[in-house]
Amino acid sequence: DQQVKQNSPSLSVQEGRISILNCDYTNSMFDYFLWYKKYPAEGPTFLISISSIKDKNEDGRFTVFLNKSAKHLSLHIVPSQPGDSAVYFCAASGSGSARQLTFGSGTQLTVLP
């Protein structure tokens, strides 16, 4: 089941630069998307979400872009900080509901000082 795909298992970025994490989905019924980050030995922590009626949502250093025609979303982190080093998960759900999230496999982001 590959309904939500994160094709890059890892990404390294210099501190202060932009981090771009990508996510693709195949299920056209998905209409609500979330990004979570996860540190070792902790649960996923919510970062930012976007509904399918929007194509961009911004919260501080984090911006999520949604391209519905391409079934693609991306998370931009600007500027990247060493504390951002974590695994980032993309997740999606349908019918505007957070009841059942389908997660991607995650991308390990390393921000180098």
Binding site for other proteins (CB under 8 A): 32, 34, 36, 41-46, 49, 51, 89, 91, 96-106
Tell me how far CA of residue 110 lies from CA of 9, 29, 91, 101, in angstroms: 11, 32, 20, 25
What's the min distance (Å) between Cβ of 46 and other proteins? 4
What's the min distance (Å) between Cβ of 71 and other proteins? 18
What's the min distance (Å) between Cβ of 91 and other proteins? 8
Length of the chain: 113
CA distance linking residue 11 with residue 55, whole number of Å: 24
And the tokens for 112? 């180098």
Taking the least distance from each CB to other proteins, the nearer of 59 and 112 is 59
Taking the least distance from each CB to other proteins, the nearer of 44 and 85 is 44
Taking the least distance from each CB to other proteins, the nearer of 41 and 70 is 41
What's the min distance (Å) between Cβ of 4 and other proteins? 8
For the CA atoms of 52, 67, 34, 106, the dihedral, rounded to the nearest 10 degrees, stands at: 150
- The SS3 of residue 77 is strand
Taking the least distance from each CB to other proteins, the nearer of 12 and 51 is 51
